[in-house]
Amino acid sequence: MSNFELDILFEDDDIVVVNKPAGLLTHPSWLTPKGTQNLASMLKIHLKGGTVYTVHRLDRATSGVLMVAKNKPAAQQLTQDFTEHNIEKTYLCVVRGFAPIEGVIDYPLKYKHDKKAEPFANPDKPAQDAITHFKRLACVELPISVGKWPCARYSLVQAKPQTGRKHQLRRHFKHILCPIVGDTNYGEGRHNKLFREHLAINRLLLMAASLTFFHPNNKQKMTINAPFSPELIILFNRFSWDEHIILS
């Protein structure tokens, strides 16, 4: 079982912002073995039993900036800001192929019903609006054969979701035929295998790189960046993507 440590990027009387590692649950889940680490429980210990108010979440496989509130007024304000799209979430991801230079993916997504996690939810909800803005930052071509192709191409993409649907970025990039590397649900196994066997990367290459928001109490505009893990620094150096590495 993994032993994750709490990486706090910012903390005051109202909020805590952390750098969530890939593989760590945001909340406890009855679908995982008892005792599985989760961020909410770790923060509760850090706050010496204080209440943790979750105002947004990241998939277990996604790493990066995640913010929680420490009191109800802060939670209410931040929840409102997320609902009204006053908070900007910026992601970085590595996708298959040479992605378009920039664009907007406007593709409604039908609710993904998990029968185990949500046995009483309505599985027939209509598709919801889903919009993602993206920009290609860099490309790389590897001299490794994949399928019928003599080489493998990948892109580093910056993505800013305008909406917050379940697995939105992962499903949107699959829709434009540029699935995120390491995605076991929406990606391509042969490319995931290439990264495992040739680059020692065995994770979803999707990172919540930064969060820009107004502090719920003093209204100061803040941007918090998530430093890269050592494995990502090594990968980006290998691909000559050094200028896009976030260190602090």
In a domain, 86, yes or no: yes
Banded pLDDT at 1 (limits 50, 70, 90): very low
Report, as an integer, the average pLDDT of 164-175. Answer: 96
Percent of the chain beyond pLDDT 90? 85
Phi first, then psi: what are they for 79, rounded to 5°? -60, -40
In a domain, 176, yes or no: yes
In a domain, 2, yes or no: no
pLDDT (tens digit, 9 = 90+) per residue, 12-41? 999 999 999 999 999 887 666 677 899 999
In a domain, 164, yes or no: yes
pLDDT (tens digit, 9 = 90+) per residue, 68-105? 999 999 999 999 999 999 999 999 999 999 999 999 99
In a domain, 3, yes or no: no
Total number of domains constituting the chain: 1
∠ Cα 18 21 26 (to 5°): 70
| CA of residue 143 relative to chain centroid, distance | 29
Predicted TM-score (pTM) of the model is 0.92
Q: H/E element holding 93?
A: strand 88-96
Where residue 108 sits, what CATH number does that domain have? 3.30.2350.10
In a domain, 229, yes or no: yes
Q: Tell me which residue range forms the domain holding 117.
A: 8-243
In a domain, 90, yes or no: yes
In a domain, 65, yes or no: yes
- Residues that are catalytic: 59
Q: Environment class of residue 203 by beta-carbon count within 10 Å: exposed (0-12), middle (13-18) or buried (19+)?
A: buried
Residue 87 to residue 104: CA distance in whole angstroms? 18
